[in-house]
Amino acid sequence: MPIYTDQLNRAILLETIPKRIISLVPSQTELLFDLGLNAEVIGITKFCIHPKEWFQTKTRIGGTKNINIEKIKQLKPDLIIANKEENVKEQIEALQAFCSVWISDVNNLNDALQMIESIGTITGKKHNAKCITQRIINSFSQLTTHHSPITCCYLIWREPYMTVGGDTFINDMLERCGFINVFKQSQRYPIISIEAIQQQECDLILLSSEPYPFKQQHIEEIKSKIKNSRTQVLLVDGEMFSWYGSRLIQSTQYFHQLMQTIAMNK
């Protein structure tokens, strides 16, 4: 019986290549689609909005943090793909009682590449996964910054404001864009105040489209509170900074465009 190891170094036993897969993570759902697993994936979360055709047709089993365990059990999966941070430990443990669960733990680009190839191997799509990781590697190798270091605050939530620490995947993406995260010394997703942001006198404040859906009105709101006139406040596509699956193929082009926008606004 094949034994696979997930990113928590847990052994996963599978008798055969899985034919009934449930994904509990939006970015990994999109990856499964790009690996060519349309027939095999039988369940996704209500936040798995890509691809659109899966969102409209696949069975939804709740949210990432409030999954419907009984519904999943009725679907009789032979593999569930989850994530350490995006899913709830107690719910995952309940799923493990009746199904193999492969758990990812992605904090940087290298972790993401390893996750993609590991899922490709466990699902019988090793070649497809290798093609995806090679495209990502090639695109990031061409990501160059044509600017001096830019100090940055990346906001993911409002009321209270929350940012990202240095041990997150988003921070790794920021650094690859040549941005210096002013809250890098913090861990995970700390709560901060407008006063704390202002004290940093950062060049750039990025408002993510997820998990909190920042809009234009929030740019004006923050600008009215930040007294530093040289600080740029921009909306950014959170998927490009936080989705660590095959979406990474598109990220570098987006980052290039973002850097051009910042340069023009100086």
Closest CA to 144 of 251, 254, 256, 262: 256
pTM: 0.95
User: Residue 266's pLDDT is what?
Assistant: 76
What's the pLDDT tens digit per position in 40-55? Answer: 999 999 999 999 999 9
Q: H/E/C letters for each residue in the chain?
A: CCEEECCCCCEEECCCCCCCEEECCHHHHHHHHHCCCCCCEEEECCCCCCCHHHHHHCEECECCCCECHHHHHHHCCCEEEEECCCCCHHHHHHHHCCCCEEEECCCCHHHHHHHHHHHHHHCCCHHHHHHHHHHHHHHHHCCCCCCCCEEEEEEEECCCEEECCCCCHHHHHHHHCCEEECCCCCCCCCEECHHHHHHHCCCEEEEECCCCCCCHHHHHHHHHHCCCCCCEEEEECHHHHHCCCCCHHHHHHHHHHHHHHHHHHC
Spatial distance between the Cα atoms of 34 and 8, rounded to a whole number of angstroms: 24
Task: Report residue 169 as tokens.
Answer: 């995947």
Write down the pLDDT at residue 2: 83
Give every residue of the chain whose pLDDT is below 70, as ranges: 1
| Residue 265 pLDDT | 84
Identify the structural domains of the chain with CATH numbers, from first to last. Answer: 3-139 (3.40.50.1980), 150-265 (3.40.50.1980)
CA angle, corner 31, sides to 184 and 137, nearest 5?
A: 60
Task: Output the pLDDT for position 82.
Answer: 98
